[in-house]
Structure formats: C-alpha cells, structure tokens
Amino acid sequence: MGNKVYSEKEIAIFNGVIALMEKGVNPYSIKVSDIAREADVGKGTIYDYFTSKEEAISQAILYNIKIEIESAYSRIRAKAGFREKFFEILYIMAECVDSNVSTFSSLLSAGGIQEFYEYLSEYRYDLSDHLSRIYELYEHLLDTGVKEGIVEKVENSYYRNMVFSSAIVGFSQYFGHRNFNNDISIEEAMEASYKLLVKGLN
Amino acid sequence: MGNKVYSEKEIAIFNGVIALMEKGVNPYSIKVSDIAREADVGKGTIYDYFTSKEEAISQAILYNIKIEIESAYSRIRAKAGFREKFFEILYIMAECVDSNVSTFSSLLSAGGIQEFYEYLSEYRYDLSDHLSRIYELYEHLLDTGVKEGIVEKVENSYYRNMVFSSAIVGFSQYFGHRNFNNDISIEEAMEASYKLLVKGLN
Amino acid sequence: MGNKVYSEKEIAIFNGVIALMEKGVNPYSIKVSDIAREADVGKGTIYDYFTSKEEAISQAILYNIKIEIESAYSRIRAKAGFREKFFEILYIMAECVDSNVSTFSSLLSAGGIQEFYEYLSEYRYDLSDHLSRIYELYEHLLDTGVKEGIVEKVENSYYRNMVFSSAIVGFSQYFGHRNFNNDISIEEAMEASYKLLVKGLN
Amino acid sequence: MGNKVYSEKEIAIFNGVIALMEKGVNPYSIKVSDIAREADVGKGTIYDYFTSKEEAISQAILYNIKIEIESAYSRIRAKAGFREKFFEILYIMAECVDSNVSTFSSLLSAGGIQEFYEYLSEYRYDLSDHLSRIYELYEHLLDTGVKEGIVEKVENSYYRNMVFSSAIVGFSQYFGHRNFNNDISIEEAMEASYKLLVKGLN
DNA sequence: TATGAATGAGACTTCATTCAT
DNA sequence: TATGAATGAAGTCTCATTCAT
C-alpha cells in the first residue's frame, strides 16, 4: 500500500529535514542550505530528487509521520492491556513534544496538519492514509478494552475516533500550557486523559 | 488588566493582518507590503508602530484572540442553559474554521499556538492571560451545568479544563478530517462532542 | 508615436546596460549585479521597473536603438548632399563598431536583431517602428540623390531599401573582416560602398 | 589544410549542438546536459573531448560552417551559369534561415560571427580560413559571369567581395524583416539581389 | 506623522564540471 | 573509455527595512 522505496540520498534529505525540526526549526524557517548541511549532501542534490524546497520538506514530513505511526503501532501492540496501550500512546506523545516533532500530533490537531505546513495540502491522499492507520490503532485499542471489560463496544465509529483523539490531544495540551500546570505531574495528566477516555467510551 | 489602548493606525494594521489570514494566507507567508496594502497605510508606518514584521503579526494575532475570546464570552453568556452555551462554543469554532482564522482554536491545540507562529512564544505572558480567560469560561459553563443537574461539580481544575478543551478540539477535528466524515453531519459531530463532555464531567 | 517617457531610474538602468555593452559585454553575459553597479542603483530597483533581467536588457537595447537612430537622423539631415549624407551613415557605422554597440547595425543584419538577443523578439512591434524610421531615412537620401541627379528615382521600395541596407552592411563587414583588409583603408572601403550604392540605384 | 579528423564521439557531439541550434536554441542557451542528451553521450564524455562547454559549441559551429561551405561549394559548382550559381547561393541562404542555423550567414554579417557567439573569437584563424573559402567561391562565380559576358572582370578584390557579400546579406534581410515584405515574394527578393549584384559588378 | 522608493542581504535554484565506478 | 550522480559556485530575484521627503 504505497510503500514507495526511497533512495539513500532521499532518506538522507528526509533525515536532515527531520533533524532540523527536532532542533526546533519550524518548517517555514528551514533553508535549503540548512537541509544540505544537515543531510551532508550538496544543495543541488536536493533538486535532483525534489522539484522544490517545499516538496522536499513535505515529503520529509510525510515520511516521518509514516515512521512515527508505524513505530507507535509496534510499541502499542507490544504492550498488553488497554490501560498500558493507551498510556503508551501518551508516552509517545510526550516524547514527540520533547523532540519538537509534533508532526504526528498535528495530524490530530484542530486545523489538521496542513495548517502546520501549507504545502502539505498537496498530499491530501497520503494524509488520509495516515489517518486511516491511526483509526485502525484506535480500533485495536477498543477491542482490547472491550475484551478486558473496561469499556463498551462503541458502534459509532465517528464518536469512537473522536473520543480517542480528544483524550490524546487533551493530554498533549498539558505541554502546550505547561506553565499553567506547574502543580500537575505528567502522571496525573495521563491519569486525567485516561479517565476521560474511559468515561467517554462507557 | 493589560488593557492596552491601541491607536487608530495600530488597529488598522491588526485588521490588515487578520484580513489576510481570513483570506487564507498563513502568517509565515504574509509580506509587509501585503499588510500595508490591506491596512491602507504606508509600509513605513508599520515600522513606526512595530519594531518588525513579526512583532506586528504577533500583536495582531494576540489582538484578534482577545477580541475573539471576548466575543465568545458575550455570546456564551447570552445563551441560557449548559447545553446551549456549549453548543454556542461549537458554533463559534465552526465559524472560525470557515473564516480561516483558527488562531483561537490553535490556543487549544496540541503544540499550543506558538507552533502556529513561532514568534508568538515571545508573548507567553499575554497568551497565559487569554488562556485564563478561557478557563474562566469553562468555570462559568460548569456552574451552569451543575445548577441544571446535568454535570457534577468537578473539583480538579486540571481535569475540568482538560475535558472542556478535549471535547472542543475533538469537535474541531471534524473539519480537519472532513473527507473522512462525509456521512456525519455537523449536528451529529456537535452531539458527539457534547456527549463526551457530559460523560467526562460525570 | 510611442514616445514613452522614462523615469530617471529607468534611464540610469538603460545607460548601465549600454555602458556594459560598450565595454564589450555581450547581452547574454550581462549580470543583474553588473547592471546595478554600472547604473549605480540597487539590484532590487531593477526589479521595481522591469519584471526580469531580460526585459531590462531588451528595453535598454530598444531605447538605445531609438536614440541611435534619432541621432543618426539629425546628423544625416545636417549634412548637405547625397554623397555627404551617405558617408555620414558610414561614419556612424564605423563609430558603432568602435563603441562595440552594434545594436543599430544588427537591425540590418541577416538574422535581424532578435538573433543578437533572443528576448527582443517579444518586441516585434517596436522593432518594426525602428525599421520604418530607417526606411524613411533611405527615402530622404534617395530624394536628395535624385535632386542632385546622382541616382534615379527608384520606385520599387523593396529594392531601394535593399540597396541601401546592402551597401551599408557591405561596408560594415570591413570591420568584421578587418584582418583580411589590411591593405584597404577605411576611406577606400567607404568609396567602395558608395560605388555599389550609386550603381545599384541607377 | 587544417583537415583535422574527428572521432565518432566528437562528431556526435557536434551534431548534437547543431541539432539544438536547428531547433532554435541560441548558443548561449545551450546546456551541457542538452548536448549530452541530443548527442546520446554522457555529460562526462563531452569533457573527454573538449575542455569546456564553450569549446565544444565553438568547435561545433566551426565544423558546421565548414560543412555548410563545402556543401555550398559543391552545389554551386554543379550549377551551370552565373545566374544559376548565384541563385543557388540565395537558395542556400533561404534554407539556412528555415533551419535556424544562420552560422553561415553570420559570417557575412556586420559584426562578424563572433557577435553571434563571443567564444568564437578564440578561433580567429579558422574563421579566416572559412572566409577565404567564401572569397574563392566569389571568384569562381565572377569568372563564370565574365565568361558569359554578364559582368565585367572586377580587379579590385575588396570591391568584388563586398559586392557579393552585400547582395547576399541584402537578400537575407528579406527574412529578418519578413513582416515588412508581405507583398514581396521570395523570387522577387532574389531578383532584386541579383539585380544589385549585376549592377555592382558592371 | 506618514509614506513608498530604494536598497541589498540572503534566499532559492541552475548547471558546468568532476570523479568514482 | 564512458558515464551520470553529485556538487557548490554563482546567478536571479524577493522582500524586510530604511530614510528622504
């Protein structure tokens, strides 16, 4: 399913872009020369593989989301139990915030990720693919939760997805508004998110 | 508190910036000459009132958030009943999406609004102010809901705020992922959000 | 008749381009930064007046041709007598060669001036204007020659123009092939050209 | 006499350059990658045979001129009669215009061919060779014309060459100023050129 | 105070040339 | 010998900022 194989150089460029974003550079502020330096390729090489800076950055973001989601999927499957699986998602979100790469969480944000980088809207199709994958993940969690008798089988898929996304985004706001939450530990924030999730699914 | 009075020109400039954003221009793509044209002032005038383009845009966004929040506050107070008030918030969010100006909703997003425009992080103090105002709003809603016996008095303020924010952001994802939700009407999305809110607060 | 008025800056830019060409720089090798330095304006200024480097150079060439032709016209009218007038044309051609600016003579060349600078073909209309002016000049010369009884009234305007142009270009080849003509003085070359002209027009 | 033998690859490269020029690409706009594609060789191969792009193009032009002149020589010798031979030259010029490759006619133009491609001035010696060949051709024509009693034996070689060149360039202007000559057929233009030639040589 | 013409730093992109294969 | 992937110097053009009016 769309498993494009990337050349060594393309991956170097992707990693360069991602490294910059992890350093806290916002995609609009990334310069071609920065990517080239970070990826250790010539500036011209970027144009051998992509038609413009925007394409290179967009593809890098999509590549990164794909990797992030697949990695999340593995980590979550590896955990046993509904609560453990959901907390794993929250841990992943926390790591994303630490690494400045919130591309993944942007997928769940209000305006969608195209707000994060306008040129991404060209890749609507790929974004939908990623979202589908996230919804699959939610289904997997719900199944586990139902089996454990923690939550009920929610038939309305829109509501189900919304509850998961809401609880996750609700948690990630903990970081965005950190200065407000000085007296709240990250564990408490996770518990709060989990509480909302369970209530929402019952 | 912090009710800075703005000159006529400053407001013209703010409105120019906002008009551009309403036209769908992303803040990173706004040019000084665009602002000047839109605000009908000379380019030099912008530098008489602001030290840089970034400051002008940042201040405009903050100004806009303040107005949006105050307007929201009035509209919500004007509604009677917990459900009506909450739905009013959702209507406001829907309007934001239509007008392309999601500055307000970005406040609630995962990465916080500084992700939306990196230079805003200089204004941490003002952003906190706005967030406080939003939390006040949540308190007002909760009071109404408690009086009506719809929800319980939630003492944990972190959890309370999180539930409101989650439900609101959860709703606004309806727009971000619209192509996924073709079979869901906006009213159904609102009902889903309200359902999560009530469950979360009980 | 298309007497566009140029601003001070536009003329400075034109003169910058022309100065470069007089220094022997071929239009394809002119760089924007060269024009800016030569014209003593900022690089950006060039783009305030022209949409591209090519447009700036093209317009400069057209401007120069116009000036060259008008200057030629005056000089030639100022001379009395057919022979004197024609020799004045040849003197002008010789000066053109010395100053490296053969835009004028290129007008008469085989491929036409668009061969000299491909982007000029966008300005077909202006070029026709200039050519008309040259043909007027030929008519003026012919009238003088007829009055003096040196040449006959040639009714076929195509033939008439061709004879003048041929004689002039024939002379200017003297410079292009100078190493071949070491034993021929410039005066002899002029006499040869005049001889062909008179024979052609009788 | 300078009959350098070219390798297969060199000729492929020359033909690539010429093919591009026949497509209407001006020598300053030719890219190495274009030549490589057109000649079906690797880009590196071009540098195995030439030290720079400019050298490759210059040599290709010289090679082409040589071929054009030799071909012209044969065609003209094959014709019987002064008039027929001269018209053959004009037909050749017309074909040059059609095929966009006016390198040959540029040789006769005002500024000389170096105006056409500045790097050619490095090859002054070769250009002289070509010009000599053209002058030989003129002599051959003149001999024929004298034998036929159409023209007189012109002793002044400068004048003789000038008359031929002038008449030929005068004809080729027909194409450069085609929009001016809508009512003139190509045959009429040829007759005019011939008329000038005969008058000039009598 | 208000302007917008002018500037030039610095961005993106191209493409001649190299060199490992 | 032949190639073309890779490079980075150098070009064009944009646009934030200044400053004379």
**Model pLDDT for residues D33-53, shown as the tens digit of each residue:** 999 999 999 999 999 999 999
Q: CA nearest B36: which of B24, B26, B48?
A: B48
Q: What is the pLDDT of residue D46?
A: 97
| A100 or B64, higher pLDDT | B64
| CA–CA separation, D124 and D54 (whole Å) | 15
Among C121, C196, C199, C202, the residue to mutate for chain D (most D Cβ within 10 A): C196
Q: Taking a C-beta distance cutoff of 8 angstroms, is the pair C65, C130 a contact?
A: yes
* D200/C202 touch (CB, cutoff 8 Å), yes or no: no
Tell me whether B51 touches chain A (CB under 8 Å). Answer: no
Query: What is the model's pTM?
Result: 0.91
Query: Rounded to the nearest 5°, which phi and psi values hold at D124?
Result: -45, -45
DSSP code per residue over A91-103: HHHHHHHHTT--H
Which residue gives the smallest C-alpha to C1' distance to E6? C45
Which residues, given as ranges, of chain C have pLDDT below 70? Answer: 1-3, 102-104, 109-114, 178-179
Tell me whether B182 touches chain A (CB under 8 Å). Answer: no
Tell me whether D28 touches chain C (CB under 8 Å). Answer: yes
Q: What is the pLDDT of residue B121?
A: 85
Tell me whether C118 touches chain D (CB under 8 Å). Answer: yes
The 10s digit of each residue's pLDDT in B100-148 is 776 667 777 666 676 788 898 888 888 888 888 899 999 999 999 999 9
Report which residue type is found at C79: K
Tokens at residue C86, please? 């024609």
Per-residue model confidence as pLDDT tens for chain B (202 residues) = 456 789 999 999 999 999 999 998 999 999 999 999 999 999 999 999 999 999 999 999 999 989 988 999 999 999 999 999 999 999 999 988 777 776 667 777 666 676 788 898 888 888 888 888 899 999 999 999 999 999 999 989 999 999 999 999 999 888 877 777 778 999 999 999 999 999 999 9
| CA–CA separation, B5 and A193 (whole Å) | 40
Question: Which nucleotides in chain F lie less than 7 Å from some protein C-beta?
Answer: 1-20
Q: What is the pLDDT of residue A158?
A: 94
Share of chain A above pLDDT 70, in %: 92
| CA–CA separation, A82 and B133 (whole Å) | 36
Distance (Å) of CA C65 to CA A193, C5, C8, C164, D168 = 77, 16, 18, 18, 24
Q: Taking a C-beta distance cutoff of 8 angstroms, is the pair A156, A150 a contact?
A: no
Residues belonging to chain C: 202
Q: Is the CB of C44 within 7 Å of strand F?
A: yes
Q: CA nearest D127: which of D109, D146, D139, D145?
A: D109
| CA–CA separation, B146 and B129 (whole Å) | 26
Q: Which of residues 64-93 of D touch C (CB under 8 A)?
A: 93
Name the residue of chain D whose CA is nearest to C131's CA. Answer: D177
Tokens at residue A198, please? 């369970």
Tell me whether B192 touches chain A (CB under 8 Å). Answer: yes
| A180 or C5, higher pLDDT | C5
DSSP code per residue over A145-164: HHHTTSS-----HHHHHHHH
DSSP code per residue over D139-195: HHHHHHHHHHTSS-----HHHHHHHHHHHHHHHHHHHHTGGG-TTS-HHHHHHHHHH
Question: Which nucleotides in chain E lie less than 7 Å from some protein C-beta?
Answer: 1-20
Over the range B37-72, which residues count as b (16 or more CB within 10 Å of their CB) and which as e?
Answer: ebbebeeebbeebbeebbbbbbbbbbbbbbebbeeb
Distant-in-sequence, close-in-space partners of D120: CB < 8 Å, separation ≥ 6: D58, D61, D62, D113, D114, D127
The DSSP element (H or E) to which B172 belongs, if any, is helix B157-176
**Residue C5 DSSP code:** P
pLDDT of A1 over the 60 cut: no
Q: Taking a C-beta distance cutoff of 8 angstroms, is the pair A132, A69 a contact?
A: no
Q: Taking a C-beta distance cutoff of 8 angstroms, is the pair C199, C159 a contact?
A: no
Determine the distance in angstroms separating the CA of B55 from the nearest CA of chain A, rounded to an integer: 16
The 10s digit of each residue's pLDDT in D110-166 is 666 767 888 988 888 888 888 888 999 999 999 999 999 999 999 899 999 999 999
* A166/B196 touch (CB, cutoff 8 Å), yes or no: yes
What average pLDDT does the segment A45-72 reach?
94
Among C158, C160, C184, C185, the residue to mutate for chain D (most D Cβ within 10 A): C158
Neighbours of D74 (CB within 10 A): 9
Tokens at residue D102, please? 């006016």
* A173/B167 touch (CB, cutoff 8 Å), yes or no: no
Distance (Å) of CA D89 to CA D95, D126, D167, D190 = 10, 22, 11, 10
Q: What is the pLDDT of residue B1?
A: 44
Q: Taking a C-beta distance cutoff of 8 angstroms, is the pair D115, C116 a contact?
A: yes
pLDDT of D177 over the 60 cut: yes
The 10s digit of each residue's pLDDT in A102-131 is 666 777 766 666 678 889 988 888 888 888
| CA–CA separation, B153 and A69 (whole Å) | 38
- pLDDT band of D99, cuts 50, 70, 90: confident
| CA–CA separation, B142 and B197 (whole Å) | 11
The 10s digit of each residue's pLDDT in C84-133 is 999 999 999 998 877 777 666 777 766 666 678 889 988 888 888 888 88
CA angle C174, C179, C183 (to 5 degrees): 75
Q: What is the pLDDT of residue D117?
A: 87
Residues belonging to chain B: 202
| CA–CA separation, D11 and C192 (whole Å) | 41
pLDDT of D167 over the 90 cut: yes
Determine the distance in angstroms separating the CA of B8 from the nearest CA of chain A, rounded to an integer: 31
Q: What is the pLDDT of residue D111?
A: 62
Could you say which of D110, D167, D184 has the minimum Cβ distance to residue C105? D110
Q: Is the CB of B32 within 7 Å of strand F?
A: yes
CA B60 to chain centroid, in Å, comes to 13
Alpha carbon dihedral D70, D72, D74, D76, in 10-degree steps, equals -150
Long-range contacts (CB closer than 8 Å, 24 or more residues apart) made by C1-10: C1/C129, C2/C126, C2/C129, C6/C63, C7/C49, C9/C41, C9/C45, C9/C48, C9/C49, C10/C49, C10/C59
Tell me whether A156 touches chain B (CB under 8 Å). Answer: yes
pLDDT of D189 over the 50 cut: yes
Contact between chain A and chain C (3 or more Cβ pairs less than 8 Å apart): no
Share of chain D above pLDDT 90, in %: 66
| CA–CA separation, C20 and C34 (whole Å) | 8
| CA–CA separation, A124 and C7 (whole Å) | 48
